Amino acid sequence: MRTINLRCFPHGGLAALVVLMGLLMTSSGAFAQKSAAFLLPGSINDQSWNSEGFKSTERSKELGWNVTYSENVQAADMVESMRQYARKGVDVVVGHSGRFLSAAQRVGPEFPKTLFLIGSGATGSGKNVASIEYDNAQFGYLMGVLAARMSKTNKIGAISGLEGLPTVTAQVGAFRKGAISVRPNIEVKVIYLQSMEDPTAAKEAALSLITRGADVVSGKLNAGQAGLIKAAKERGVFVTGRSLGHTQIAPEAVLANVVEEWPEMYAAAVQQNKTESVGGKYLIYGLGSSGTTGARLRYSKELEFNPAVPASVVGELEKIKKQLASGQLKINVTRQDARGGI
């Protein structure tokens, strides 16, 4: 299967093409990227994590990259999948999930000329393994404020998988902190699931929160996110999504989507690697970063938020975004902030 890797800049325009061609023509530097392999842990049709990752391969291929990809890569196959691509001489191997990190740490030393990039990883390793992430705390905080402002019952909920994973802790904990920052007495219920990929289990969890009074539900799931969207649609409550496809499922229910800009983050990392090795580093992109903010809030291509969100709330969120970008507001999250329980 052919696909592509490094997602380039926000809208794939001329600037992105110029930068990418520069990368392809590089004759010196730590790595001269020409080809990439992209490994996805789930289906490219999940309308969430994996489909968004796949979009980065499509954009990059359009700009001239020689790219291959594998989807539904299970944990037991991650090491050998990375090794096989590296043996073929691929310049960049991307594991589009933090679950690929341990595999990259094992395989990386065997192929020092290959750059291994881990999307949503938690740390860098050695000389050629880097992790990339957007600032989950910043966007979780914004979703918490939005949920609290839109709730009429004073009860909101969050559903996620992979409890304890640093990125999950950051987003779920910040969701709670954001909500409490504007409504100190609000009830925030959190459910953790065993799988990120099970929409049926996610829907059941969402319905349990809604039955207990939650009228806004947020979450950080992959294929399972669709279950949250469908539950909200059926029960007439609000929900947050992870792709524009979620808005299409339930346009009246979705308040906004946290659309992660993986093409831009991967491209930024490769661009940096031209002048200094990113191996061993953990790169986090947020509202104050140059090149890409790592993610953005979108309801549709034209709108940032559902038209149901009052202008006063939109204004409040814009003010918070500026505070986060400038560093005036910093979000520190603990495991207690991200605690589960209904």
What pLDDT, on a 0 to 100 scale, did the predictor assign at position 63? 61
Per-residue pLDDT of 218-232, as tens digits, reads: 999 989 999 999 999
Tokens of 164: 């304890």
Closest C-alpha among 323, 288, 273, 298 to residue 129: 273
pLDDT in tens, 28-53: 344 444 788 999 999 999 888 888 88
DSSP string, 20-47: HHHHHH--SSS----EEEEE-SS-TTSS
**Token pair for residue 116?**
């291994």
Q: What pLDDT, in 10s, does the model give residues 105-115? A: 999 999 999 99
- Beta strand pairing status for 35-39 and 92-95? parallel
* Residue 5: pLDDT band with limits 50, 70, 90: very low
pTM equals 0.84
Q: What is the pLDDT of residue 175?
A: 98
3-state secondary structure of 186: coil
Task: Kindly tell me the sign of the dihedral angle through the C-alpha atoms of 100, 293, 62, 113.
Answer: negative
- Structure tokens given for 85: 């691509």
**Cα separation, 306 vs 293, whole angstroms:** 21
* Residues 284-299, mean pLDDT to the nearest whole number: 95
Residue 80: pLDDT band with limits 50, 70, 90: very high
Enter the tokens of residue 146.
Answer: 């939005």
Q: Are 232 and 219 in contact (CB under 8 A)?
A: no
Helix (H) or strand (E) holding 236: none
The answer on pLDDT for 22 being more than 60 is no
Closest CA to 31 of 1, 6, 68, 4: 6
- State the residue for tokens 């019952």: 153
pLDDT grade for 65, boundaries at 50, 70 and 90: confident
- Give CA–CA dist 100/81, Å, rounded: 10
Q: What is the pLDDT of residues 126-167, one digit of tens each?
A: 999 999 999 999 999 999 999 999 999 999 999 999 899 889
CA angle 107, 193, 200 (to 5 degrees): 110
Q: Above 60 in pLDDT, residue 73?
A: yes
What are the strands, taking DSSP E only, across the chain? 35-39, 66-70, 92-95, 115-119, 129-134, 155-161, 187-193, 216-220, 238-241, 254-260, 282-285, 295-298
Q: Is the pLDDT of residue 21 over 70?
A: no
Residue 266 pLDDT grade (very low, low, confident, very high; cuts 50, 70, 90): confident
- CB-based contacts of 202: which residues, under 8 Å, 6+ apart? 159, 193, 219, 221, 224, 225, 226, 227, 228, 231
d(CA 151, CA 116): 43
Mean pLDDT of 321-334: 98
Burial letters 113-123, b for 16+ CB under 10 A, else e: ebbbbbbbbee
Give the pLDDT of residue 79: 98
CA–CA gap between residue 107 and residue 101 (Å, rounded) = 10
Q: How far is CA 191 from CA 146, 208, 209, 242, in A?
A: 19, 10, 9, 18
What whole-number distance in Å separates Cα of residue 56 and Cα of residue 94? 11
| Average pLDDT rounded to a whole number, residues 170-192 | 98
Checking if the pLDDT of 94 tops 70, the result is yes
In percent, the amount of the chain with pLDDT more than 70 equals: 89
Count of helix runs (H) and strand runs (E) in the chain: 11, 12
Share of the chain above pLDDT 90, in %: 75
- Give the DSSP per-residue string, 133-183: EE-HHHHHHHHHHHHHHH-SSSEEEEEEESTT-HHHHHHHHHHHHHHHHH-
* Centroid of chain to Cα 300: 17
Confidence of residue 12 (pLDDT cuts 50, 70, 90): very low
Pairwise pLDDT comparison (48 vs 237), residue with the higher score:
237
Residue 60: pLDDT band by 50, 70, 90 thresholds? low
Mean pLDDT (the chain, rounded) = 89
**pLDDT at position 97:** 93
Give the pLDDT of residue 9: 34
